[in-house]
Amino acid sequence: MEKLLIFFLFYFAIIFSIIGYGNIFSLVSNRSYSIGEKGLNGILFLIIISYITNFFSPHSFYHNVIVIIIGLLTFSFQLIKNFKNIIKEFKTAFIIFLILFIGLLMHKNHDDFFYYHFSYTISLIEYKKILGLGLLNHGFRTPSSIFYLNSLFYLPHIKYFLINSGAVFIMGFSNLILIDKIRYQLKIKKYSFILFLSVLSFAYINTAFYRIAEHGTDRSALILIFLLVITYIESLGILKKKISNINFTIYYEKIIVLLILVISLKSFYLIYFVLFFLWLYQFRYFIFHKKIAFTILKNRLTYIFISGISLSIFMFF
C-alpha cells in the first residue's frame, strides 16, 4: 500500500510539473490557456528540453529531479497566485487522470515496449545522445519524442515504473481539451459541427484507445491528429467573420503546437505538413494583404516551431 501511495504521488507530481512547464510556455506566447492546453504545451516544452539536454547529459536521477522540480515550482507559484480558479478547473482533470492512473495499473505495456521502446528510453537515461544506434536494432531506426519524454520520468523510489506513462499524459490532456470544447459549445447553445465532431472524437478515443497496451507511438499521435483536425476546421470559422491578428494568432499557435507534437511522435506524420500548408493557403489573403505575415514572423512560437521540427527530424537520423 505504501508503494502504491508513493507511485500515486509521483504520478500526480509529474502532472503538476507538466502543467508548470505549460505555464512557462504561456509566458512565451503571452496568453492564457486551459489546463488541457497547458498540459500539451508543457509536454512539448519537456520534449524540447529532453532533446537538447541529452546531447550533453544522460537523463539520470539528478537531471530528472531538477527538471521535475522546476515545473513543480512554477505550478506552485501559479497556484498561490490564482488558487480558486485553478482548483475549480482542476476538478475534471483530477477525475480524468485518476481513471487513467487505474488504467496504467491494470493494463500491460505495448507489444513493442520490450522490443525497443524500453531499450531506447534506457539508452537516453544511461547515456548521452548516441548516433547510429539504428545499425544495432531495427527498432532504433524509428525514434519517437515519446521516448525522450518518458526518459524524464526515471525518478528516485519509483525508478523505471513511470517511463511508460507519456502516452497516458497525452491522452489525459487531450481529453480535457475535448471536454472544454464540448462544454463551451453547450454553454453558448451552439450545436455546430464542431460540437458533434468533438463528442464523437471524445467517444472514439475513450472506447477504441482505452487500452494502454495499444499505445505505442501511433495512438498518441492519432489522438493529437483528432485535435489538429478539429482545430483546423474550427479556425475556418473566422474566415466568415472579421478576422484580426489576435484570433488568427490563437489558431496559428494551437496548430503549430499540435503539429510539432504529431510529427515528433513518428516521422510518417510529416505528411500532416500538407494540412498546415493548406491552412496557410486558405488564409493567404489575410496573411499577405492584412500584414498578418509580420505577426507570424514576430511570434516567438514560430521559432519554437522551427526549432522543434528541426530537432525532431534530426533525431530520426
Q: What pLDDT digit, counting tens, does each position of 263-282 carry?
A: 888 877 888 888 888 888 88
pLDDT at 316 over 70: no
In whole angstroms, what is the distance from residue 292 CA to residue 146 CA? 33
pLDDT at 237 over 70: yes
The backbone region for 234, taken as left when phi is positive above 0, alpha when psi lies in -120 to 50, beta otherwise, is alpha
In whole angstroms, what is the distance from residue 34 CA to residue 203 CA? 21
Return the pLDDT at 14.
93
**Residue 195 grid coordinates:** 460540437
Q: How many domains does the chain have?
A: 1
Residue 64 pLDDT class (50, 70, 90 cuts): very high
Residue 204 pLDDT class (50, 70, 90 cuts): confident
Region 104-123: mean pLDDT is: 73
In whole angstroms, what is the distance from residue 77 CA to residue 123 CA? 34
Residue 168 vs residue 292, higher pLDDT: 168
Considering the chain, what is the average pLDDT of its residues? 82
Return the pLDDT at 227.
93
Residues 18-60 have pLDDT tens digits of 999 988 887 777 677 888 889 999 999 999 899 889 888 888 8
Percent residues over pLDDT 70 in the chain? 83
DSSP characters over the chain: -HHHHHHHHHHHHHHHHHHHHHHHHHHHHTS---HHHHHHHHHHHHHHHHHHHTTTS---HHHHHHHHHHHHHHHHHHHHHTHHHHHHHHHHHHHHHHHHHHHHHHSPPPTTIIIIIHHHHHHHHHSS--TTGGGT-GGGGS--HHHHHHHTT-BTTTBTTTTT-HHHHHHHHHHHHHHHHHHHHHHTT---HHHHHHHHHHHHHHHHS--GGG-SSHHHHHHHHHHHHHHHHHHGGGGSS---HHHHHHHHHHHHHHHHHHHHH-GGGGGGHHHHHHHHHHTHHHHHHSSHHHHHHH-HHHHHHHHHHHHHHHHT-
In whole angstroms, what is the distance from residue 22 CA to residue 37 CA? 8
Percent residues over pLDDT 90 in the chain? 17
Return the pLDDT at 152.
92
Q: Which of 200-214, 259-273, 295-309 ranks highest by mean pLDDT?
A: 259-273
Residue 170 vs residue 284, higher pLDDT: 170
Asked whether the beta carbons of 174 and 224 are under 8 A apart, the reply is: yes
Asked whether the beta carbons of 258 and 40 are under 8 A apart, the reply is: yes
pLDDT at 242 over 70: no
Collect all residues with Cβ–Cβ distance below 8 Å to 282 and sequence separation of at least 6. 236, 239
pLDDT at 249 over 70: yes
- Would you mind telling me the total number of residues written for the chain in this entry? 317
Q: What is the pTM of this model?
A: 0.90
- Domain extent, residue 301, equals 2-315
Return the pLDDT at 134.
62
Residue 137 pLDDT class (50, 70, 90 cuts): low
